[in-house]
Structure 1
Amino acid sequence: MLLGSLGCNGQPPAPPTIGRGDYASIIGYLKQHIPREMAEHRVPGLSIALVDGQELIWARGFGFADRDRGLQVTENTAFRAGALSQLLTATAVMQLVEQGRLQLDAPLQDSLREFYVRSRFHQDQNAADQAVTLRRLLSHQAGLPTEYLRDRYTTQALGELPGKVSGIWLNNCPGTQTAYSNLGYALLGAAIERSSGLDFERQLQKSLLRPLGMSQSSFLGTSLAQPYRARGYADGLGSADEPLRDLSATGLWSSPRDLSRFVRMLFAQGHYKDRQVLSPASIKEMVRAQNNGNPLDFDCQVGLGWYLSPCGEEWVRPGIRTWQHSAVGSDFQARISVLPEQQLAVIVMSNSGSGEAVARPLVTKVLRMLLQAHGAPGSQKRDSAQPQERVTARRRVPEAADRQHLAGFYATTWGVLRIRDQGQRLFGELAGKRFELLRDEQGWLRAQKKFLGVWLQDLGDLGQVQLDLLNVQGRRVFTARRHGQLLAMGERVDPVPLPDNWLSTVGTYQALNEDAANTAISDISIALEDGFLMIRSLQQGRVTTDYILAPMDNAHAVIAGQGPGLGDTVRRQINGISVLGYSFKRSYTHQYLRF
């Protein structure tokens, strides 16, 4: 009875019923709701902006921009926008396309002559270079690695990057799969510089930021550079806030209020005040799905800069179009979500990665309330295609043939998913979590774990999705289904004979680069496990992620799998290996160490 009464009394108030045009009730609710959520998730500071058409309904800051200095967040406080930078970079590219200085379907090499790629998907070098186009870079379909690690946290000029990364290996075949790439957007920034004749910051200020009156927005500096910038916090501690090289991918500082001006320009078909900033045709192209022909993208639609579907997150309401983008780091978070047909938008930024736990449900909640203010019904029927997200008694252990079919190793962005048939039950292990896999009432796999065999444990998002193995274009793809959307999670990998020269790489390696202290990967290890060569990133001696290393020839191997962070090429060197610009020197050797 006591636990029940605490649960009832501790429940936050439900969102109010909103009448047409009743923004006051939305704002009143958020003034109470946001501080409560910030306290629960330990978010130091947060800012939000609500947009309806050409009207900024509300912009407000909460908490501290810098706790040590006692600076509070205001509506003008700028946060690191991370990947939201790409929305402005894509817009700047389209402006130059309109001016005839860039060509959307031309290869990047036309703008950056020194840049070329290596490819295991093309027999002809020229064909590989021609496949890396601006359109594919803008839609993350160019096949480039997610990052180029070396010198990422420096003030090195963007213009030097194409020469430094020339000869980089493609991770996947361009135009066949969406795989997020900050490197691709960094190179787009270099193309903007080369075609405009100005450095990236000056060009963006000239063509976009100043025309939109985004006075708190810039791609330069750190939180110490301006008094209105928030300091980032990771695990409750102030971050070092290192400078960034890849300005066009992740370098933007901005506020929700400033970004609301960008959104209002899009709602006005590119017009802002007395200036046509972008043509309606360019906006239409940016929000047109660019990846409809990619079977491995399943239900995730991508435009030029924008994501055009929730990609596994909850729909605001089925049937309503959405443009969105988000950025999550250890010390900052930013999220923007737009309902273009209703001309509604919500922008949330915070100075802690834990802010994502606040922002993700908050944005959906607020957009639903804004829809009510537009006259839409307040209640939302549950998506009938998506089952209840809770364990039911109807879940069953997979049959023996089913377990045998599923057991194996799968390459995923989060590391190796191991599925094993043990004791006539099916178990999985991913990112340090071990769980049982059961078939639900609809025949999908569901992950669950019980403490002492009785109480269900929270597996986060993993416990809320439906899973299964599908054959797609000859690949065995482990898929996840949530909120009625199907997404690729990983790919089945079978062991292959390992050549002696790659077996000899088993051991532990230390990073040699001068900026190694600024990256999460300071050491790696290579080990043997069940016939697979595993490469593992280490942090203070602890394994953080592990991937399957698939040798291609005597000198090269790839990180197995398809998708972000997978497909990177690893090169053998004398007494070491290199990957994405980082060199690692052997520090300890194991004689064919097996785990």
Structure 2
Amino acid sequence: MFRTLRGIALLGCLLGSLGCHGQPPAPPPIPKGDYGAIIRYLQARIPKEMARENVPGLSIALVNGQELIWARGFGMADKAQGVPVTPNTAFRAGGISKLLTATAALQLVEQQRLALDAPIQQTLREFYVRSRFHSDPGAADRDITLRRLLSHQSGLPSEHLRDLRSTYAMGQMPMRVSGVWLSSPPRSQVAYSNLAYSLVGAAIERVSNKSFEAQMQTSLLKPLEMGQSSFVGTGTQLSFRALGYEDGVVSTDAQVRDLAAAGLWASPKDLIHYVQMLFAQGLYKGNRVLGSLSIDAMFTQQNTGNALDFDCQMGLGWFLAPCGDEPVGPGVRTYQHSGGGDDFAAQLSVLPDQQLAVIIMANDSNAEELVASLATDALRLMLQAQTGEAVCADDCQAPNHGLKLRHVPAAVDRKRLAGFYATAWGVFRIKDENNRLAGELAGFDFELLRDDSGWLRAQKKRLGVWFKDLGDLGRVQLNVITVQGRQMLTARSHGQRIAIGERIDPPPLPQAWADTIGTYQVLNTHEPDAPLSGISVRLEEGFLVIRGHLHDEPLTDYILLPVDNAHAVLAGNGYGLGDTVSRQVNGLSASGYAFKRTNAPHNRLNF
């Protein structure tokens, strides 16, 4: 809910398949078994890309089965103090934390202290949900199971923003978020949720009778000899922890409340031990850490039959497909998880059939694409060294078509496609104007053209730094299709279809919600780094549009759909969408915050 516009650039990289960082140098041929050639290539490539993207520090580790091929640090963990990155430097792991949290939960399932398919309310008795998808409140609570929490299918909101930087104990989280409204029906789709993993962490604490950090150290980190790893809210200035940077400028060491979702500090070298345990079916140096059946469950697709997930496959914690990212190669199974935010970026990717893995971590907010491209290329090179054959995805070579094969959609086509689309990045507006199909997202303008296969392509219109011309590579293809009665804007990227957004038609606007048009400020919060300072609601072409504000920075626009006189939801499905906004006596409430009106009520509508 209410993302900053920084995330919009990532969508621009997705739709602009030329990439945001240019092309890296071509790797040399890798003879079979010659991992040294890979190391030499990466040693030359990584510093150049870090310098171009102004990334202060980066660390990488490569593994083949039980063998650590290479671990190396580049650049600075602390520029001001001149502290270099070493293989033992710990970085914020972000979302990669969820992999270890899921593993710890499965350990407790093996001990019969947790159950995958029992309601989480059996462990967290104070926790309950509200649902517009259930007629029986008890049924809604029963639908929130550990399995669904771990696979992002619980239907819970993606975030609970109130007190996001708080230091209060994890065990308080279930009570503080009790009564939260579900954003989607449980088991209907994957919608990434940090809130869900916070509840998993609370359940781990509850049944282990230990703090989350103590339990993780005892059950997982110490048995795996992950000596530089811990789940703590801040990176206390210790010699082995990197500072985070934004655009090369050191940033505040933010407190992380949702430790189970994003609180891990680790080095790639430490995380290799975790991967080696998985490759050994739960053994690490001969000691049993996790049962092989639990590992099988972790790597079993949990979202089979979810039409809205398209080609994105989800396990327990793990993404079992690239989900729109560039694949390593045709037919090469790849399991992965990335981590971003708080001015760090990380990725852990494994090839389970070949037992190859790469882990890369960097300490700048703008390093996400650099980290992802390095991870993919490193795995391709390791696969080449293992097999002796070059590896490339089906679409690594530019297809033989370009701008000459694109045409303006016909008038009837433009009329069908024009509309407002709810996406996780905000409102995607497509308009039929001047005999063209114009698109706009977060202030970025482009034109949509049809290619020879009937797909839509985004053509840069004015701000060329963002939406790139797709004429050369043409990897991303857009279209609107109907799924379960919903008009979904989809993209085909690297041979996979993923959901981008959902078309929303203007709803009837009750007077009670028309009266909410105006501006609001957050009430009763003393958070030093609060993610929201206010919101605003306006009317645009028959839609209520809600926007978050962080001091003077506008956040993303979302469509607000009234459900009844007291409740409305952020339109669409996926990360941050479907969340409930409620009317209060003199304001609104959302994601745990109360907002007080700061201007006079809007004039009443005439019906």
| Alignment check: 8 A CA contact 1:209 1:217 kept | yes
What amino acid does structure 1 have at the position aligned with 2:128? Y
Who is 1:207 aligned against?
Answer: 219
Q: Are 1:83 and 2:95 counterparts?
A: yes
Change (3 A) 1:153 1:460: farther
Paired residue for 1:396, among 407, 411, 420? 407
Q: What are structure 2's unaligned runs of at least 5 residues?
A: 1-21
Indicate yes or no: 2:457 matched with 1:446: yes
Q: Which amino acid aligns with 1:518?
A: D
Residue from 225, 246, 268 that aligns with 2:258: 246
CA contact under 8 A between 1:389 and 1:464: conserved in structure 2?
Answer: no
1:592 positional shift? 4.9
Distance 1:238 1:367, change over 3 A: same
Secondary structure of residue in 2 paired with 1:438: strand
Q: Per the alignment, in what secondary structure is the counterpart of residue 596 of structure 2?
A: strand
Counterpart of 1:459?
467
* Residue 225 of structure 1: how far off its partner (Å): 4.4
Q: Rate the CA distance shift 1:152–1:77 in 2: closer, same or farther, 3 A.
A: same
- Following the alignment from structure 1 to structure 2, what is the Cα–Cα distance between the partners of residues 589 and 80? 44
Is 1:363 paired with 2:375? yes
For residues 480-519 of structure 1, the aligned pairs below 5 Å read 480-519=491-530
Residue 177 (structure 1) aligns with: 189
Deviations 1:312-356 (A, max 9, x none): 011101101111000111500110000011000000001111111
Per the alignment, residue 61 of structure 1 pairs with: 73
Which of 6, 28, 46 is the aligned partner of 1:16?
28
| Partner SS state of residue 534, structure 1 | strand
Q: Deviations over 1:134-164 (max 9, x none)?
A: 0000000000001111111121111000000
Question: Which structure exhibits the higher relative contact order, with contacts defined as CA atoms closer than 8 Å and separated by 6 or more residues?
Answer: 2
Give the C-alpha shift of residue 236 in structure 1: 2.2
Equivalence for 1:335: 347
Give the TM-score of the pair, scaled to structure 1: 0.94
For 1:281, the equivalent position in structure 2 comes to 293
Q: Which of 466, 472, 482 lines up with 2:483 in the alignment?
A: 472
Structure 1: distance between partners of 2:400 and 2:376:
18
Separation of aligned partners in 2, 1:337 and 1:571? 40
TM-score (norm 2): 0.93
Determine if contact 1:337/1:347 at 8 Å carries over to the other structure.
Answer: yes
Q: Hey, what's the Cα distance between the residues in 2 that align with 1:239 and 1:553?
A: 43
CA contact (8 A) 2:383 2:391 kept: no
2:108 counterpart residue number = 96
Amino acid at match of 1:547: Y
Q: Helix, strand or coil for the counterpart of 1:550?
A: strand
Query: Aligned partners of 2:527 and 2:598: how far apart in 1?
Result: 15
Distance 2:98 2:440 in 1: 34
Take 1:251 and 1:437, find their aligned partners in 2: how far apart are those partners? 41
Task: Assess, with a 3 A threshold, how the Cα gap between structure 1 residues 470 and 39 changes in structure 2: closer, same or farther.
Answer: same
Q: Equivalent residue for 1:271?
A: 283
* 2:553 paired with 1:548: no
Cα separation, partners in 2 of 1:381 and 1:276, compared to 1, 3 Å:
closer
1:519 deviates by: 3.1
Q: 3-state SS of the aligned residue for 1:393?
A: helix
Contact 2:229–2:266 under 8 Å retained in 1: yes
RMSD of aligned Cα (Å): 1.9
User: How many angstroms does 1:232 deviate by?
Assistant: 0.4
% same residue: 59
Change in CA separation of 1:359 and 1:152 when aligned onto 2, cut-off 3 Å: same
Deviations 1:238-289 (Å, cap 9, x if unpaired)? Answer: 1111221111000000000000000000000100113100011100010000
CA distance in structure 2 between the partners assigned to 1:422 and 1:545 by the alignment: 24
| 3-state DSSP of counterpart to 1:39 | helix
CA distance in 1, matches of 2:530, 2:444: 24
2:324 is equivalent to residue 312 of structure 1: yes
2:592 maps to 581
Residue 15 of structure 2: aligned partner: none
Deviations 1:495-554 (A, max 9, x none): 112111111111111122424541342221100000101101123444320001111112
Q: Which residue of 1 aligns with 2:178?
A: 166
Structure 2 contact 567–583 (Cα < 8 Å) conserved: yes
Structure 2 partner of 1:33: 45
The CA distance in 2 between the partners of 1:484 and 1:133, in whole Å, is 33
Number of matched residues?
A: 581
**CA distance in structure 2 between the partners assigned to 1:413 and 1:483 by the alignment:** 21
**2 CA distance for matches of 1:237 and 1:460?**
27
